[in-house]
Amino acid sequence: MNAVNQQERLSIDERRNWFLAGFIEGEGSVCVSIKEHRNGKFGYLIDPEFFVYQHKNRQGSLELARAVFGTGRIYPKSGNPDVLVFAIDARKSLIERVIPFLDQYSIFSSKLSDYEKFKKIVMALEKKEHWTKEGMIRIIRLAYTMNLEGKQRKRDIQEVIDRILRDYTPDTA
Amino acid sequence: MNAVNQQERLSIDERRNWFLAGFIEGEGSVCVSIKEHRNGKFGYLIDPEFFVYQHKNRQGSLELARAVFGTGRIYPKSGNPDVLVFAIDARKSLIERVIPFLDQYSIFSSKLSDYEKFKKIVMALEKKEHWTKEGMIRIIRLAYTMNLEGKQRKRDIQEVIDRILRDYTPDTA
């Protein structure tokens, strides 16, 4: 193949990455769980996670995701073993693998605003902004605007914020 | 536009197409409906269709699909108006738009065997192979092996074949 052909044709890796980005557009999600936990700062743990779902008969695309990201695990979805989940939750992997990928391959995505919020939250956690009450509340407010304005959340946001403001003292600081 | 910009623009189209292919991998499906119909050859109509699904809040990707294919319609899913469907069922569009696209952008897909069957059926219909009883039965047998071996079918394949073999006479030939 000459130089012109090489320029005209995207490399196989690039094609694979755009394909994966489209797959993630359909089957992927970013979410930020907020869990009550006695060891968490101000009584809460904040867990950003990246997921991709697929029927177990089509495992290939999840394996493609694992190959591209070079990390993550595949397991049956809780309560629905016909669906497999590919998940990455380690913060280092989110920062080094997932966010750069989503940044680079998001131009056709209609989920951009959730990605941007996800990224802000991961970077805020990395900067330990949740170690102050104000930072924690700011992160939680932002998390509650994700994924259709937090409709799937168990707890009302005011309940969470009130609990933080009541000066909950964690066991470990 | 100079030559370099033209190259860049071509590659944007390519990226968009690979992205769409990945999206289709997750949210798309090909199916071949087999409907009892008095005007159908041997009492049945065979309808190949291409679908892509998405939540109504993420309509952008379906519009991307319509832009790339240059045809198709978007409408609320029957029984679930929160989900939108992008559908192409005109045989000419399937042959000229959908199949060439799936052929070209399927290398990362794990749905390849369904696509191949879908393509065989569309081309068989185009060649009027369903105008003979043997051809009709061959097409129906192949359709029943699609989409997880036809588990979602209303009618047992033997019931369909028996009805054809009983020399059902259509109203119009």
Within 8 A of A57 by CB-CB distance, chain B residues are 148
> What secondary structure, in 3-state letters, does chain A show?
CCHHHHHHCCCHHHHHHHHHHHHHHHHEEEEEEEEECCCCHHHEEEEEEEEEEEEHHHCHHHHHHHHHHCCCEEEEECCEEEEEEEEECCHHHHHHHHHHHHHHCCCCCCCHHHHHHHHHHHHHHHCCHHHCHHHHHHHHHHHHCHHHHHCCCCCCHHHHHHHHHCCCCCCCC
When pLDDT is averaged across residues A109-124 and rounded to a whole number, the result is 92
- Cβ atoms A56, A82 nearer than 8 A: yes
On whether any CB of chain B is under 8 Å from the CB of A173, the answer is: no
Q: Does A54 touch chain B (CB under 8 A)?
A: yes
Q: Look up residue B86 and give its two tokens.
A: 């992008």
Q: How confident is the model at residue A155 (pLDDT cuts 50, 70, 90)?
A: confident
What is the C-alpha separation between A115 and A106, in angstroms, rounded?
9
| A21 close contact with B: CB closer than 8 A | yes
What is the value of ipTM here, to two decimals? 0.85
Mean pLDDT by 10 residues, chain B (173 residues): 52 92 94 91 93 90 96 95 96 97 90 92 97 95 85 86 77 46
* Subunit contact B27:A24, Cβ cutoff 8 A: no
The number of CA neighbours under 13 Å toward the Cβ of A171 is 5
What is the spatial distance between Cα A59 and Cα A92, in angstroms, rounded to a whole number?
A: 25
Interface residue of A20, A58, A110, A111 to substitute, partner B, most B CBs within 10 Å: A110
pLDDT tens, residue by residue, B1-26:
455 555 555 588 999 999 999 999 99
Question: The tokens of B18 are what?
Answer: 């690979």
The pLDDT assigned to A67 comes to: 96
- Report yes or no: B21 at the A interface, CB cutoff 8 Å: yes
B84 CA: distance to closest CA in chain A (Å): 13
Cα distance between residue A122 and residue A111, in whole Å: 17
Q: Is the pLDDT of residue A88 over 70?
A: yes
Chain A residues with beta carbon closer than 8 angstroms to that of B18 = 10, 14-15, 18-19, 22
Contact state of A108 with B11 under an 8 Å Cβ cutoff = no
* A67 touching chain B per CB within 8 A: no
Is pLDDT above 90 for A102?
yes
Give A6's pLDDT tier (boundaries 50, 70, 90): low
Which residues in chain B touch residue A111, judged by CB atoms under 8 angstroms apart? Answer: 58
Q: Rounded CA gap, A91 and A47, in Å?
A: 9
Q: Is B14 an interface residue toward A (CB < 8 Å)?
A: yes
